[in-house]
Amino acid sequence: MTQDTILANATLVLPDRTVTGHVVLRDGVIADIGTGAALPKGALDCEGDVVAPGLIELHTDNLERHIQPRPKVDWPHNAAILAHDAELAGTGITTVFDAMRVGSIPSGRGRYIKYARGLATELLALRADNALKISHFLHLRAEVCSETLEEEMAEFGEADRVGIVSLMDHTPGQRQFRDISKLEAYVKGKLSLNDEEFRAHVAQLQELRALHGDRHEAAAVAEAKRYGAVLASHDDTTEEQVRVSAGHGIRVAEFPTTLEAARACHVHDIAIIMGAPNLIRGGSHSGNVAAHDLARAGHLDILSSDYVPSALLLAAVQLGEIWGDMARGLATVTANPARSVGLEDRGVLEPGKRADVIRFAMRGGVPALRGVWSRGSRVA
């Protein structure tokens, strides 16, 4: 007989409200939901803790951090993937779209080489072996300002669980780094470049954009369609850039850098993702628009942990406090991201949905996880 998991006397985060009740997990799905503080036989008393859907992360660079924990260190990949998977489970993330760069620059001082195809193969093999705690999809970050984008994207297909393709244009002087002094500080710190080397780096990127950018952008749009993936833009700054994004069929805008771009995204029915670290820190590290300003303007739909996995739940709770609506805040990391990428089987507490569930309590003003279930099995 299947053993039910019953989480009772909990504050349930439903799609449009929070209520006291219980949720029954059975055979990997949510079997039942009831209201009231009663404890059904065999239930776990949650003592009023919050029970919500598992978090859905659409854009995180965390796997890359595990693969390369220090410059020039290539950590054993299977070990890195398992550590990444366990870390995300421990932060309440039960579905992740692992960001991997496609498009490389194998020449020049700021060179970087391809890695996505090999890493994706290793990740998918671990998934097939049931070695992973949570659900993994691929998010290919298509660097249009590169030399090898087309050949790298050609290596992927429909079987690779590519859920998102984002168009990345890191040409100096526009989008995230309109202010080149911000780029200079970032790149010099990361690559240890001197003034002359930085100028050469900027010139190389600008030349690559002129030579390949338009062709690479068109190729990425076509490849996303071949995979059956959702298209995302990245760092839209102007209304005109958003108009172009809409013309490509883009459904999600990652980290628009200005209020102008965010407003245009909503005009074109493009969902807006902002970084959880931006919200928690109170602003962008690149000097772009603050997430809390977009939240107050009603132009924030989805949160991404970006480079801090534990930021996702904390930022969603903070959004709930900003809006005075915890269900709305939690929806930015559950229902909204699920809807934006067409995952209809998760993201809400409803009978028949995947039993991806988290339990947390507030401690010292921050959410403290007390349990994470993926397909009904406890993973943290």
Region at 340 (left for phi over 0; alpha for psi -120 to 50; beta for the rest): alpha
> What pLDDT shows up at residue 284?
83
Contact by Cβ (8 Å): 359, 378: no
Torsion 312-315-320-323 (CA) sign: negative
Q: How many residues does the chain have?
A: 380
More reliable by pLDDT, 261 or 147:
261
Beta strands 50-53 and 18-26: pairing type?
A: unpaired
Determine the 3-state secondary structure of 333 from DSSP.
Answer: coil
> What pLDDT shows up at residue 283?
86
Q: What is the DSSP letter of 351?
A: T
354 bridge partner residues: 29
Q: Which amino acid would we find at residue 280?
A: I
Instruction: Report the C-alpha gap between 99 and 257 in whole angstroms.
Output: 20
Query: What pLDDT, in 10s, does the model give residues 40-88?
Result: 999 999 999 999 999 999 999 999 999 999 888 999 999 999 999 999 9
Instruction: Report the C-alpha gap between 16 and 31 in whole angstroms.
Output: 20
Mean pLDDT of the chain: 92
Angle, in degrees to the nearest 10, between helices 259-267 and 239-248: 40
Sort 210 into a burial class: Cβ within 10 Å, 0-12 / 13-18 / 19+.
Answer: exposed
Contact by Cβ (8 Å): 230, 252: yes
Confidence of residue 348 (pLDDT cuts 50, 70, 90): very high
User: Which residues make Cβ contacts (< 8 Å) with residue 214, sequence separation at least 6?
Assistant: none
Q: Which domains does the chain have, with CATH numbers?
A: 1-53+348-380 (2.30.40.10), 55-345 (3.20.20.140)
Determine the 3-state secondary structure of 368 from DSSP.
Answer: strand
Instruction: Report the C-alpha gap between 295 and 67 in whole angstroms.
Output: 33
Instruction: Report the C-alpha gap between 157 and 165 in whole angstroms.
Output: 12
> What pLDDT shows up at residue 213?
73
Q: What pTM does this model have?
A: 0.91
Confidence of residue 173 (pLDDT cuts 50, 70, 90): low
Contact by Cβ (8 Å): 103, 113: no
More reliable by pLDDT, 109 or 337:
337
Determine the 3-state secondary structure of 98 from DSSP.
Answer: strand
Q: Spell out the alpha helix ranges (H) of the chain.
A: 62-67, 77-89, 116-128, 149-153, 180-191, 195-227, 239-248, 259-267, 276-281, 291-296, 311-323, 326-331, 335-340
Residue 275 has pLDDT above 60, yes or no: yes
Instruction: Report the C-alpha gap between 27 and 37 in whole angstroms.
Output: 24
In the block, residue with structure tokens 């705690």: 133
Determine the 3-state secondary structure of 375 from DSSP.
Answer: coil
Q: Please state the φ and ψ torsions of residue 147, each to the nearest 5 degrees.
A: -105, -25
Contact by Cβ (8 Å): 356, 94: yes
Determine the 3-state secondary structure of 128 from DSSP.
Answer: helix
